[in-house]
A = this chain, B = another copy of it.
Amino acid sequence: MPEQLQQAGPAVRERIQQSFARQGLMSLLGARLTRIGPGRVHITLPARPEVRHEHGYVHAGATSTIADSAGGYAALTLFAEDSEVLTVEYKINLLAPAAGDHLEAAGIVLKSGRTLTVCQLEVHGVGEDGERKLVTHGQQTLIRVDRSAE
């Protein structure tokens, strides 16, 4: 898949950064927003001891948490300012142990509809030498909600 290297507009970026900053779980895990493109958002998670499984790999729960959030923000990049998205469901396969210096989760919009959005979720483990390995792959459905209607 060709990388979409362009960034989202400044208003979208600011809206997403502010939402991310309000999420206690992201800060508890130590996750950071590392890219906000149109229909594509990356979240990076350092492999700190607190998020590792007993065998040393990052816990599947932490992996899926950043994947789910990356997909939600990716969907949000394509909506107007007064919209929010909620995850309806997601499915992920854990393909390999989540090893490395840090994990990088990508949420990528496959289909952006009026009500529902479908995203692909990819998480790579990245070593200190920059080597990347696909550790998790998934698919997610989200629903748009009007912030004014909440």
Contact = CB atoms under 8 A, between A and B. Distances in A.
Contact of A68 (B25, B61, B93): B61
B118 A143 contact: no
Contacts of A138: 139
Contacts of A27: 50
Interface range on chain A: under 10, 10 to 19, 20 to 34, or 35 or more?
35 or more
Contact of A59 (B25, B51, B111, B141): B25
A24 B49 CA distance: 7
Contact of A88 (B54, B62, B141): B141
21 contacts: A19-B54, A23-B54, A25-B50, A25-B53, A28-B29, A60-B65, A61-B61, A61-B64, A61-B65, A64-B64, A86-B94, A88-B88, A89-B91, A89-B94, A89-B118, A90-B91, A91-B91, A93-B110, A93-B111, A93-B141, A138-B139
Given A27-B50, A64-B65, A90-B91, 8 more contacts: A25-B50, A59-B65, A64-B68, A88-B94, A89-B139, A91-B91, A91-B92, A118-B137
